[in-house]
């Protein structure tokens, strides 16, 4: 079946521009996670949802980062006024819940110039 | 101190070699432990979960020592296709559906 999909796969933004990254989880998966992976580092947690409820946003690095999942399926991660330090791969993962495996999407590679 | 620490490598080993990776974690509340594999410019994929009793999956053996907060992965009879970055992962808290905390990864290159 279809896995987690993310779009766009690549995004180049000018510093100060707003960007929106989309995640389509596996159908029926209750929980959705966003991670940020800088070059040479492991992924770092940003935020997660259970259905439409955002249960933890403690990893969002600043108030320029905002995530939503209004209907409990597709999620959007928005970054306002992008900075060079926002350049990274943004990974989305979904899971059925109950501690089951998190399945990752291919990521969106963001480059801020 | 980072929550999950592992030797970044790289480990360059010949085909057929046995290689071991170690990691330590700092959060005693973590209840779930994993090794993920990440190929270059790809997403992480679950390699195996790690249980206190130790577990084996083919050429891969994982061990967990809760008292020392130490996790290991042993790869026997290395193949060229094992070349990747291996990420040590724990969950943030408790059990169930919680965020994952990743180490920086250990890079393995298996050479012919």
Chain A interface test: which of B30, B38, B44, B96 (most A C-beta within 10 Å): B44
**Which residues in chain A have their CB less than 8 angstroms from residue B97's CB?**
30-31, 50, 95, 97-100
The pLDDT assigned to B96 comes to 67
The encoded tokens of residue A105 equal 């999407």
Residue predicted with more confidence, B7 or A10: A10
Residue A76 pLDDT level (bands cut at 50, 70, 90): very high
> Does pLDDT of A10 surpass 90?
yes
Measure A95 CA to nearest chain B CA, in Å.
8
Q: What is the pLDDT of residues B65-111, one digit of tens each?
A: 999 999 999 999 999 999 999 999 999 876 667 899 999 999 999 99
Question: What pLDDT does B95 receive?
Answer: 64
Q: Cα distance from A70 to chain B (closest Cα, Å)?
A: 20
Greater confidence (B54 vs A113) lies with: A113
Beta carbons of B96 and A91 less than 8 Å apart = no
Distance to chain A for B36, nearest Cα, Å: 11
For residue B1, the model assigns a pLDDT of 67
pLDDT digits (tens, 9 = 90+) for A26-71: 999 999 999 999 999 999 999 999 999 999 999 999 999 999 999 9
**Chain B environment of A31 (Cβ under 8 Å):** 97
Dump pLDDT digits (tens) for B12-22: 999 999 999 99
CA dihedral defined by A28, A89, A56, B105, rounded to 10 degrees? 100
Q: B52 pLDDT band (50/70/90 cuts)?
A: confident
Q: Residue B8: its pLDDT value, please? A: 87
Question: Could you say which residues from 47 to 86 on chain A have a Cβ atom under 8 Å away from some Cβ of chain B?
Answer: 48, 50, 56, 59
With beta carbons less than 8 A apart as the criterion, state whether B29 and B103 touch.
Answer: no
Any CB–CB contact under 8 A between B83 and chain A? no
Q: For residue A101, what pLDDT is reported?
A: 86
Angle at B34 between CA B30 and CA B35, to 5 degrees: 140
What does the alpha-carbon distance between residue B29 and residue A87 come to, in Å, rounded to a whole number?
Answer: 31
Which residues of chain A make contact with B4, given a CB cutoff of 8 A? Answer: 42
Show the CA angle centred on residue B1, arms to residues A100 and B95, nearest 5°.
Answer: 20
Asked whether the beta carbons of A113 and A16 are under 8 A apart, the reply is no
Do the Cβ atoms of B7 and B105 come closer than 8 Å? no
- Tell me whether strands B19-25 and B100-102 are parallel, antiparallel or unpaired: unpaired
**Regarding predicted confidence, which is higher, B54 or A89?**
A89
Residues of chain B positioned with their CB less than 8 A from the CB of A43: 44, 87, 100, 102
In the structure, what pLDDT confidence band is assigned to residue A1 with cuts at 50, 70 and 90?
A: low
List phi, psi (to 5°) of B80.
-55, -35
């Amino acid at each position: 079946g279809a896995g987690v999909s993310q779009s766009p796969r690549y995004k180049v933004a000018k510093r100060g521009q707003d960007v929106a990254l989309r995640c389509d989880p596996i159908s029926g998966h209750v929980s959705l996670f966003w991670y940020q992976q800088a070059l040479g580092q492991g992924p770092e947690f940003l935020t997660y949802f259970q259905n439409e409820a955002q249960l933890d946003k403690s990893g969002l690095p600043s108030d320029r980062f905002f995530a939503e999942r209004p209907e409990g399926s597709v999620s959007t991660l928005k970054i306002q006024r992008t900075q060079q330090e926002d350049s990274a791969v943004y990974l989305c993962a979904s899971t059925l819940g109950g501690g089951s495996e998190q399945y990752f999407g291919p990521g969106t590679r963001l480059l801020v110039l | 101190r980072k929550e999950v620490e592992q030797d970044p490598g790289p480990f360059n080993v010949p085909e057929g070699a046995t290689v071991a990776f170690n990691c330590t974690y700092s959060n005693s509340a973590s209840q779930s432990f994993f090794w993920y594999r990440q190929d270059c410019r790809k997403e992480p994929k679950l390699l195996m979960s790690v249980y206190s009793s130790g577990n084996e999956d083919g050429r891969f053996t994982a061990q967990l020592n809760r008292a020392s907060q130490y996790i290991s992965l042993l790869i026997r009879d290395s193949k060229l296709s094992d070349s990747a970055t291996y990420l040590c992962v724990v969950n943030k808290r408790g059990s169930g559906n919680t965020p994952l905390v990743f180490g920086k990864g250990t890079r393995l290159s298996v050479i012919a």
